[in-house]
């Protein structure tokens, strides 16, 4: 079975543990936490392969709350997955990661707001 690569556009909202970090350092910390959670198998229900973190950007829409725009590239484990089911698997993965104490270096509590903004086929260069 051939799986296509899907681009997940996520919005994560949290109270940062180190709100004095610059954009690059904060993004690197979030990227590292995502990789640790992935290595622990916490995203295995969503994807059988490692995902790639394609982009991370950071903003502060209100005092104390930090919003990250994160793009993941992955192959979905289940063919025909709809947006609601994908969002459910994603929420479960983040909840499991928080319960296992991942993301504690990045956020101050055990709550990260996770919103799946879109799932679209990723443009993958074709072999010439």
The answer to whether domain 5-118 has CATH 1.10.287 is no
Q: Is the dihedral of CA 51, 56, 61, 62 positive or negative?
A: positive
pLDDT over 60 (residue 125): no
Please tell me the distance from the alpha carbon of residue 12 to that of residue 113, in angstroms, as a whole number. Answer: 5
User: 108 and 16 in contact (C-beta within 8 Å)?
Assistant: yes
φ, ψ dihedrals at 22, nearest 5°: -75, 170
Tell me what pLDDT residue 3 has: 57
Tell me what pLDDT residue 79 has: 87
Q: What is the mean pLDDT of the chain?
A: 89
Q: Which helix (H) or strand (E) holds 25?
A: helix 23-39
The single residue listed with the structure tokens 């707001």 is 113
Q: In this predicted model, which residue has the larger pLDDT, 123 or 12?
A: 12
Tell me what pLDDT residue 124 has: 59
Least confident of 26-30, 83-87, 116-120, 122-126: 122-126
pLDDT over 80 (residue 84): yes
């Amino acid at each position: 079975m051939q799986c296509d690569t899907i681009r997940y556009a996520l919005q994560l909202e949290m109270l940062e543990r180190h709100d004095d970090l610059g954009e690059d350092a904060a993004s690197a910390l979030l990227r590292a936490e995502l990789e640790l959670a992935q290595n622990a198998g916490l995203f295995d229900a969503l994807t059988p392969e490692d995902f790639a973190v394609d982009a991370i950007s950071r903003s502060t829409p209100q005092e104390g709350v930090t919003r990250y725009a994160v793009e993941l590239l992955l192959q979905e484990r289940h063919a025909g997955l709809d947006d609601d089911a994908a969002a459910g698997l994603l929420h479960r993965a983040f909840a499991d990661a928080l319960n296992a104490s991942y993301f504690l270096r990045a956020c101050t509590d055990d709550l990260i707001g996770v919103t799946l903004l879109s799932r679209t086929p990723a443009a993958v260069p074709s072999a010439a």
